[in-house]
């Protein structure tokens, strides 16, 4: 099976990785994290979130982070925008890309935002419209695409339906996200095959969590389904609220290690990423959850 | 790509998992571990090692373990036998299968046992002969099949060469072992494709370590190459001496979770395995390294 020769890694640690940290991470550290990631060669860094600080206090300094980072030419800096107010913040901050989001699970949508999937996506229409007028890229995320903490199984058709709604709104990129990390390779293939029937695979990204240890196998299955954009988080930063103590986002180091072995180009400096993971973990005063990162750091120390 | 519909899991935690534990694990606990694993449905449990207690003090009670376990009809109890003396112990203990071992790396062989690969395999000839005469199964393990801590890359031809030597000695099963966990899916496919050209895939097993987080992706690649026997260790027991603090054997729970998602039968009771992993980790006074096991235990506790 022919795998893509090049993969785009979207580094999500500054936003998706840090948002659940209880201790506030100083703005200086966030800025340094974003700058080190862009310097390491990531073509896309999810840098901040323009959500209400009441909801996510950790992300309250998004405007400061965006103002203080060193913009690297060619790097796409993405920010999460839940609504029009968030979009205005993103626009003022000079974001290159905004991220909107909806779930493929009706139960999740009702429980979390008290409205149907269809309504939740429709609410983003003015945001997408405004972004397009401002020449800002739009990424639409489909959460719970491989399973839901409330309803369990999520039909493939529901994922395709959300993808089509995003497509109708002309978003640039669509994330298929395994929010709780329950997916396995067979299901990944089924979902990716169904979604790539309606959306150009070059516009689809895979966002896998490693909660059940499945993320790398799922990425391999997605690569075999023609997907070439993946979201990763250095040192596996980002917890999963549904499984205390379990890991969340797949670790960037583990993914880069696998891609290098598959002869797939990313343009990213692997050794620099291992350094960033160790630095960030030491700042957070805990061991990171990247197996490749920890193994290499241990070898270096030996 | 057609995957096997059934996989045989060889549970290696009582031997490969525990052998590097510094604190001596009481014989009672080892016996309980083996008995719980066989009761959970594993068709093959690597139960003990008949090596010199000077070399591996943790395994000094192998004869006691074998004498006290409850033999489950149909379960294969394997033991490691480095030489004729070990074989005599295995025979007296009523082992169903002995495990012999050699490396695919010349540097590893020279450094560890001070002889060539060819010599190291030839030394096992009388052991294999004796086992065959006694009607005991023989498994031949090929360590460093995907990389070596001393020479780095290991040629595919070297792995095939060891497999052919084992084949000539009429061993029943051949393990392709990624001893230091450095392999990635492309290399796994290359090696498995080459080995299955000379050996029936039904006689080949994959032994993957998760040191760099690659084990599940590697197992998926091996399944796609027609391999249907895998070695796993509950709670990921078993360290890797070359990467302090890094994980070793792939966790049984993570593998079973993936296989279930792939609709592949194992005959193993998944929930019982999660229990065993939590029990054993609590005995060892540390958190196990199975992501699926920890996520499920956390969900149960919630």
State pLDDT tens for residues B96-118: 999 999 999 999 999 988 999 99
Q: Is A240 part of the annotated catalytic residue set?
A: yes
Mind listing the pLDDT tens digit of every residue in chain A (302 residues)? Answer: 689 999 999 999 999 999 989 899 999 999 999 999 999 999 999 999 999 999 899 999 999 999 999 999 999 999 999 999 999 999 999 999 999 999 999 999 999 889 999 999 999 999 999 999 999 999 999 999 999 999 999 999 999 999 999 999 999 999 999 999 999 999 999 999 999 999 999 999 999 999 999 999 999 999 999 999 999 999 999 975 544 545 689 999 999 999 999 999 999 999 999 999 999 999 999 889 999 999 999 889 88
Residues of B marked as catalytic: 240
Q: Which of A26, A9, A10 is nearest to A18 (CA)?
A: A26
Ramachandran angles phi, psi of A173, nearest 5°: -140, 145
Residue with tokens 């982070």: A65
Question: Nearest CA of chain A to the CA of B301: how many Å?
Answer: 9
Q: How far apart (Å, rounded) are the C-alpha atoms in residues B90 and B27? A: 17
Cα-based distances in Å from A275 to A17, A270, B106: 17, 9, 33
Structure tokens at B77: 């109890």
Given a cut of 50, whether residue B179 has pLDDT beyond it is yes
User: Is residue A188 within 8 angstroms of chain B, CB to CB?
Assistant: no
Q: What is the pLDDT of residue A124?
A: 97
Q: Which of B16, B5, B7, B15 is nearest to B177 (CA)?
A: B16
> How big is chain A, counted in residues?
302
Give residues 19 to 48 of A whose Cβ lies within 8 Å of B: none
* H helices present in chain B, as ranges: 27-39, 62-68, 84-92, 106-113, 117-122, 125-133, 156-168, 185-198, 215-224, 252-261, 270-283, 291-301
Q: Give me the CATH topology for the region A8-301.
A: TIM Barrel (3.20.20)
User: Is residue A260 within 8 angstroms of chain B, CB to CB?
Assistant: yes
Task: Kindly state the percentage of chain B with pLDDT values over 90.
Answer: 92
End-to-end CA distance of chain A: 39
Rounded average pLDDT over B180-202: 97
For residue A183, what is the nearest residue in chain B, using CA coordinates? Answer: B261
Cβ pair B30, B66 in contact under 8 A: no
Q: How far apart (Å, rounded) are the C-alpha atoms in residues B231 and B175? A: 9
**Of B186, B219, B244, which is closest to A263 when you measure between CB atoms?**
B186
Question: Nearest CA of chain A to the CA of B216: how many Å?
Answer: 6
Q: What is the pLDDT of residue B242?
A: 47
Give residues 99 to 138 of B whose Cβ lies within 8 Å of A: none
Q: Which of A257, A177, A225, A249 is nearest to A12 (CA)?
A: A249
- In whole numbers, what is the pLDDT of chain B averaged over residues? 95
Question: Nearest CA of chain A to the CA of B112: how many Å?
Answer: 19
Among left, alpha and beta (phi > 0; psi -120 to 50; other), residue B42 is beta
Catalytic residue, chosen from A115, A144, A148, A240, is A240
Task: Kindly state the percentage of chain B with pLDDT values over 70.
Answer: 97
Q: How far apart (Å, rounded) are the C-alpha atoms in residues A11 and A37? A: 8
Q: What is the pLDDT of residue A158?
A: 98
Give the confidence band of B20 by pLDDT, cuts at 50, 70, 90.
confident
Q: How far apart (Å, rounded) are the C-alpha atoms in residues A20 and A3? A: 34
Give residues 215 to 244 of A whose Cβ lies within 8 Å of B: 216-217, 219-221, 240, 242-244
**Of B185, B219, B258, which is closest to A258 when you measure between CB atoms?**
B185
Give the confidence band of B240 by pLDDT, cuts at 50, 70, 90.
low
Instruction: Count contacts between A and B (CB, < 8 Å).
Output: 124
H or E element, residue A186: helix A185-198
Q: What is the pLDDT of residue A244?
A: 52
For residue A259, what is the nearest residue in chain B, using CA coordinates? Answer: B184
Q: How far apart (Å, rounded) are the C-alpha atoms in residues B79 and B65? A: 11
Cβ pair B154, B104 in contact under 8 A: yes
Question: Nearest CA of chain A to the CA of B21: how many Å?
Answer: 19
Give the confidence band of B1 by pLDDT, cuts at 50, 70, 90.
low
Report the residue of A150, A217, A235 to disrupt the B interface, i.e. the one with the largest count of B CBs within 10 Å: A217
Residue with tokens 């006074």: B285
Residues 6+ apart with CB under 8 A from B110: B116
Rounded average pLDDT over B162-175: 98
Q: Answer whether B213 sits within 8 Å of A184, measured CB to CB.
A: no
Q: How far apart (Å, rounded) are the C-alpha atoms in residues A3 and B224? A: 15
Given a cut of 80, whether residue B259 has pLDDT beyond it is yes
Rounded average pLDDT over B284-302: 91
């Amino acid at each position: 099976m022919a795998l893509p020769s090049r993969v785009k890694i979207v580094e999500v640690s500054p936003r998706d990785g840090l948002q659940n940290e209880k201790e506030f991470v100083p703005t200086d550290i966030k800025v340094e994290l974003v700058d080190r990631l862009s310097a390491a060669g990531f073509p896309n860094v999810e840098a901040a979130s323009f959500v209400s600080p009441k909801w996510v206090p950790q992300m309250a300094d998004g405007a400061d982070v965006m103002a203080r980072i060193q913009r690297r030419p060619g790097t796409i800096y993405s920010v999460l925008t839940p609504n029009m107010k968030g979009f205005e913040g993103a626009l003022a901050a000079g974001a290159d890309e905004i991220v909107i989001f909806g779930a493929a699970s009706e139960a999740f949508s009702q429980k979390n935002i008290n409205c149907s999937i269809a309504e939740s996506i429709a609410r983003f229409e003015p945001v997408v419209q405004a972004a397009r007028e401002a020449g800002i890229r739009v990424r639409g995320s489909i959460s719970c695409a491989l399973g839901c903490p409330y309803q369990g199984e999520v039909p493939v058709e529901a994922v395709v339906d959300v993808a089509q709604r995003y497509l109708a709104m002309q978003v640039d990129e669509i994330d298929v996200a395994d929010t709780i990390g329950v997916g396995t390779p067979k299901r990944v293939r089924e979902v990716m095959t169904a979604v790539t029937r309606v959306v150009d695979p070059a516009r689809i990204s895979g966002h896998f969590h490693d909660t059940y240890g499945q993320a790398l196998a799922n990425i391999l299955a997605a690569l075999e389904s023609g997907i070439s954009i993946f979201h990763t988080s250095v040192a596996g930063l980002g917890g999963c609220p549904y499984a205390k103590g379990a890991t969340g986002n797949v670790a960037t180091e583990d993914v880069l290690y696998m891609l290098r072995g598959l002869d797939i180009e990313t343009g990213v400096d692997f050794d620099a990423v291992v350094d960033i993971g160790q630095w960030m973990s030491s700042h957070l005063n805990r061991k990171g959850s990247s197996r490749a990162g920890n193994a290499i750091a241990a070898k270096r120390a030996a």
